[in-house]
Amino acid sequence: MDFNFHVPTMVRTERGLAKRIGGFLQLLGFKKVFLVTDRGVKDAGILQAIERSLQESSISFEIYDEVVANPSCENIMDGVKKLKVFDPDSVLAVGGGSSIDAAKGIAVMANNPGEIIDYEGVGKIPNQGLPLIAVPTTSGTGSEVTSSTIVTNTKTQFKAAVISPFLYPNYAILDAELTVGLPMEVTAATGMDALTHAIESYTSKTSNPASEALALYAIRMIRENIEKAYFIATDIQSRENMLVASMLAGAAFSQSRLGNVHAISHTFSGVFNVPHGIANATLLPFVMKFNLPACPDKMADIAKALGENTDKIPVKDAAELAIQAIIKLNNTLNIPSNIKDLDVSLDVLPKLVEDSMRSGNVLINPRLTSSKDIKEIIESAYHGIL
């Protein structure tokens, strides 16, 4: 029962807080903010109220809106270069997982030498970065409460994980108003990303009672809200619930880490630039099938949290229901049933296997995993055969 539980981020959930963020930052004593986002967020008009609030609170700011999907080391270090010219006292991230991950890298590299990719792995960053405030505009990554950032190495096409307590944002603002009206495909991808986080966290070898409680509750919340958020873009209550569930799943996996879904999906993003959430969702039932013999009791718990009736049936049968529930949910959300439809090619299968096995997530996957296992999972997912 020995374990550590550490989530230092202060989380505040409040509708409309983003358009009053200047006053919030003012109370924290910040006067000069480097705002990190992407062009999509800016073009959607999400920043207008935030900029106005910063101006009204006499907080000077500069916007770095050049974050790309699956941000690279070069992308992050370009932001660091611009940050150092502006010389702010804090960093404000507004956007989805890519923007928040990039902002985490930019904030920490303000006070550390070299490049972010130099710190791949766990606990290698020597110095605390600038204070970071994260404002997610999607309900998926949970990056606003995690100690990791994912960086694409463009030279090797590998998505590297940098993990450090210095990467936790100091503050997270969950404002459901920012997520109202998200496109259906974004709602599906980010929602299933959060669900994958919760499921992999719950079954991880390094889970603990606290992370398991958060993960299981997140699974239930997502099941209860994702379809309504998907089909009714303006339903703010389901949007808010999804934001909270995503945060809970992030807090869970920040303690336990993840598993084979993420080990494999990161290779798809690195090589083929496949959207992370869709890759996770498509792979999830195949990895769950592989893992079932190692954790049938936990899989049965997941099935129940997903709304399946598991009363008076054998544990293995209940565990199978969890896989079927994910397949049904993917179908409802119009997510492909195979990775071939994601334009993943088996022509580079050896690289996909090798890069997947590099991930630390393989080591904590509930079932012991070999290169041969990864190869077979990818092949099964490619052909859509469970």
The full set of domain ranges for the chain reads 10-178, 184-383
Nearest to 386 by CA among 286, 318, 294: 286
Q: Please give the Cα distance from 220 to 195 (Å, whole number).
A: 9
pLDDT for residue 273: 85
At 362, is the secondary structure helix, strand, or coil? helix
CATH topology of domain 184-383: Dehydroquinate synthase-like, alpha domain (1.20.1090)
Asked if 195 and 36 touch (Cβ cutoff 8 Å), the reply is no
The values of phi and psi at residue 93, to 5°, are -100, 125
Give the distance, in angstroms, between the CA of residue 385 and the centroid of all CA atoms in the same chain. Answer: 27
Residue 356, pLDDT score: 94
The pLDDT value recorded for residue 181 is 85
Q: What is the pLDDT of residue 298?
A: 98
Q: Which DSSP symbol is given to 148?
A: E
Q: Mean pLDDT of successive 10-residue segments in the chain (386 residues)?
A: 86 96 96 96 92 96 94 95 97 95 97 95 95 95 93 84 95 96 92 97 96 97 97 94 97 94 91 90 97 97 96 95 97 96 94 92 96 97 94
pLDDT tens-digit series, residues 303-321: 999 999 999 999 999 999 9
Per-residue exposure over 276-307, b if at least 16 CB sit within 10 Å of its own CB, e if not: bbbbbbbbbbbbbbbbbeebbebbbbbbbbbe
- 10-178 domain in CATH 3.40.50.12780? no
Q: What is the pLDDT of residue 340?
A: 95
The 10 Å CB-count burial string (b at 16+, else e) for 197-221 is: bbbbbbbbeebbebbbebbbbbbbb
